[in-house]
Amino acid sequence: MRIIPAIDIIEGSCVRLSKGDYTTKKVYNEDPLEVAKTFEAHGIEHLHLVDLDGAKSKHIVNYKILEQIASKTSLKIDFGGGLKSDEDLRIAFNSGANQITGGSIAVKDRETFLGWLSRFGTEKIILGADAMDEKIAVSGWQESSTEELIPFIQRYQKEGIKYVICTDISKDGMLQGPSVVLYKKILQKTANHSTAIRLVASGGIAKYEDLNILKELGCEGAIIGKAIYENRISLKQLEGFIIKS
């Protein structure tokens, strides 16, 4: 299972929110590159970089930070937040993103998202399936939709999507453990298909043991944010997990 630390950006700083609520913003470091380099120094190879300003603005904003991290580390970066147009995607990939995550766009403009999938391929495009009470949330989680989470994933699975990042918003930033029951359900409901879903769990990871649980469940990756920044899980522990894996 891949270990994927998260860096969320607001106004150039590395922050964390609780349940996606911008009023709960806590700044952890004003230099995202420094944070990324620290991750890399501990054997971490992947990074989940979220442009929270972009998610709110509905277009890419913090691409310079993406460019900086991509050019000064060897981290494989998946980038998301506010990607709405072909131009946003062009900027993200030109700035060094290995993959991009499309969430709101996959709900609101299916045609554009499928176009990206067709043009860039299933290794490059991740489906962002963020939900509250199994209903998809959009626009930086500021809006809910009527889309049911599992049918939403299944529809895109039929289109060949491989990577899915699923955040249970009620768990995000709360340090109360990941949404194990939900992930188990997703993996069961998407199992009988020619395209296997590579499910990346996000939200709620609070302790090292959570990683073993998600790995046993069959998650392909785990995104960890606040647990690292609040020293609930040490980078040394993550280094050990990666070596063991």
Catalytic residue among 130, 168, 172, 210: 130
Token couple for 70 = 């991509």
Give the whole-angstrom CA distance, residue 179 versus residue 176: 9
Query: Is residue 53 annotated as a catalytic residue, yes or no?
Result: no
Phi and psi at 158, nearest 5°, equal -65, -25
Query: Is residue 8 annotated as a catalytic residue, yes or no?
Result: yes
Give the whole-angstrom CA distance, residue 11 versus residue 49: 14
CB atoms within 10 A of CB 125: 25
DSSP 234: -
Catalytic residue among 8, 53, 168, 210: 8
Sign of CA dihedral 118, 104, 169, 36: positive
Q: Say if CB 32 and CB 9 are below 8 A apart.
A: yes
Residues known to be catalytic? 8, 130
